[in-house]
Structure 1
């Protein structure tokens, strides 16, 4: 599993690199043809990782409820996310992969509730969740890159 945690850290680093030179205004743009913005995608991968790994294993999330409500699957992106949202995203993106690895290695994940993903793959264990989460992170890295190109073409 060590490699899976490293992939997660690299994905998060790549996600943050995509947005490093963008303004808050650019991060909030929802370009024509898209349903969300860069900020929502960044927050969404963080919330999804927590839900897939912690909630489905019966553990508490390491996020505040307001953050979850803003970025969970099925939520609508705000065109006015604030600087405080961006700072939380950066903090969580950097710290939560290490916490997940630590919690996994300490044996925190004792049970897991089966979950059929919208991807068509059923998660049956914490290992499935960690592995699948990396697929989800990669999908959203692609969205981030496409959104960035669309946003930059507008400015």
Structure 2
């Protein structure tokens, strides 16, 4: 599992680079031909991880419900994200990696409710969820690499 966590940490640091390299205006811009923006992708991977790992394990997670509603699967940006919300997402982006690792090694994950993802992957265990989360985050990183060309 340690290798999966290392991959996840690297991925999250790549996302963190977007927050330092782009202005608030650039983070919020939805380029023509796209349905979301840079900051929505960051918020989305944060809440998706919490749903995949925590909610499916019967645990509450660490993301406020308001953020979950803004970035859950099936949503799109409806308003500009504020600098305060960007700061909150930046904090969650990194802190949730350490928190999830701590919870994992503390044995907090006892059960897992099997599920089919929206992309057709069958996730049967916590290990599957963590592995799928890395895949999911890589997909969104690719989307962001395309969006950045137009902001």
| Contact preservation (8 Å) 2:28, 2:39 | yes
Task: Report the CA distance between 1:150 and its aligned residue.
Answer: 1.4
Equivalents in 2 of 1:69, 1:119: separation in Å?
20
Task: Report the CA distance between 1:108 and its aligned residue.
Answer: 0.7
What SS does the corresponding residue of 1:34 show, helix, strand or coil? coil
Q: How does 1:119-130 map to 2 (within 5 A)?
A: 119-130=119-130
| Contact preservation (8 Å) 1:28, 1:78 | no
Task: Report the CA distance between 1:20 and its aligned residue.
Answer: 1.7
Equivalents in 1 of 2:19, 2:148: separation in Å?
8
5+ long unaligned stretches in structure 2: none
Q: Structure 1 length as normaliser, TM-score?
A: 0.94
Equivalents in 1 of 2:135, 2:71: separation in Å?
18
Task: Report the CA distance between 1:79 and its aligned residue.
Answer: 3.8
Equivalents in 1 of 2:150, 2:30: separation in Å?
9
**Partner residue, 1:142:** 142
Task: Report the CA distance between 1:135 and its aligned residue.
Answer: 0.2
What SS does the corresponding residue of 2:150 show, helix, strand or coil? helix
Task: Report the CA distance between 1:120 and its aligned residue.
Answer: 1.7
Task: Report the CA distance between 1:15 and its aligned residue.
Answer: 1.2
Q: Structure 2 length as normaliser, TM-score?
A: 0.97
**Partner residue, 2:27:** 27
Q: How does 1:46-125 map to 2 (within 5 A)?
A: 46-125=46-125
Q: Deviations over 1:82-114 (max 9, x none)?
A: 011100111001110111111111111100011
Task: Report the CA distance between 1:22 and its aligned residue.
Answer: 1.1
**Partner residue, 1:16:** 16
Following superposition, which runs of at least 4 residues in structure 1 exceed 3 angstroms of deviation? none
Task: Report the CA distance between 1:18 and its aligned residue.
Answer: 2.9
Equivalents in 1 of 2:18, 2:149: separation in Å?
10
Q: What is the root-mean-square deviation of aligned Cα atoms in Å?
A: 0.9
